[in-house]
Amino acid sequence: MDNKVEQLINEYEKNIENTKEHFSYINSVREFNGYIFKKMRHKEYLENEEKWLKKLMNMDYCVPKLIGVHNNIIITEKIDGETIRDDKAQKHLYNIGQLITNLHNVPIEQKEDWKKRLMLKYIKLKESAKDIMETNIFESTTNFLEQCLENIKVSNLCIVHKDIRPENIIFSNGKYYLIDLESMCIGDRDYDFTRILNLLNQKEFYCYEDFKNLIDGYRSIKDVDIKEEKWQFYNRYYAFRLYSRMLSGEIDRDNKYEKYLKDVLLDKNDRVTDWIKKYNVEESL
């Protein structure tokens, strides 16, 4: 541990009661003296975030500046700007689309078997969910996901954030910064639309024009073919993962969001498929 990190940690620990806490589903995130101290629950996520912060900083991608790591705490400089709230995101969606494209355009050196990675994670997820999830939801979901996994085709391998949503983006001095890189990996480009399209699907104040702005922003830099089958698979895979984590107590249960996830798993709530169809028809004219 270098001197600066040691000094920051000592001051932070002495003044922890006076720090500002930021909302996080899993980790403890606190602000102190112009820095963000993120206490990570899992070491593998800490190491992963450290790795990707270093890589993207070296490539001048807009991420927080890494200061250092101590035990299970990662320290970054605080970005002075606006964390984009879900209900204030509409005016930013075109630019968020461009931010996603720029991430996907970062050169990658290694390749990865995304299908194998997804399958291994699914097997663990299925095992953990089988005894805590309603039988009808579990069986219909796993049957659907396994059929999709068998036939999945990876569109483009690239760096994927895996949790892109407005509140993981900070707007500062005309620039957009991506935060929370703990789940970042090399994977299927299409997966990165899952979280933000899930949000557009869930919140009633979003509409087709918001979806269109997001995709148009992405396509202003690089073409992308949005397929309804991919969306349906990744959306239900994501909902299966989140719902099982709520049931197990790994993340706090939220009655409204829990109902939304159940509806997705039962194929009862999906505006995005209609939007994809409409968008693709308009683009073909």
Question: What are the residue ranges of helices labelled H in the chain?
Answer: 3-14, 43-58, 93-104, 114-129, 135-151, 194-202, 208-219, 228-248, 255-265, 271-284
Please name each of the domains of the chain with its CATH number.
3-78 (3.30.200.20), 83-284 (3.90.1200.10)
Q: What are phi and psi of 172, to 5 degrees?
A: -145, 120
More confident residue, 276 or 24: 276
Note the pLDDT tens digit of each residue in 236-265.
Answer: 999 999 999 999 988 888 899 999 999 999
**46-105 pLDDT per residue, tens:** 999 999 999 999 998 999 999 999 989 999 999 999 999 999 999 999 999 999 999 999
Q: Yes or no: say if 192 and 162 are a contact pair by the CB < 8 Å rule.
A: yes
> Which two tokens mark 62?
């807009």
- Name the phi and psi angles at 252, rounded to 5: -65, 140
Cα–Cα distance measured from residue 238 to residue 231, given in angstroms and rounded to the nearest whole number: 10
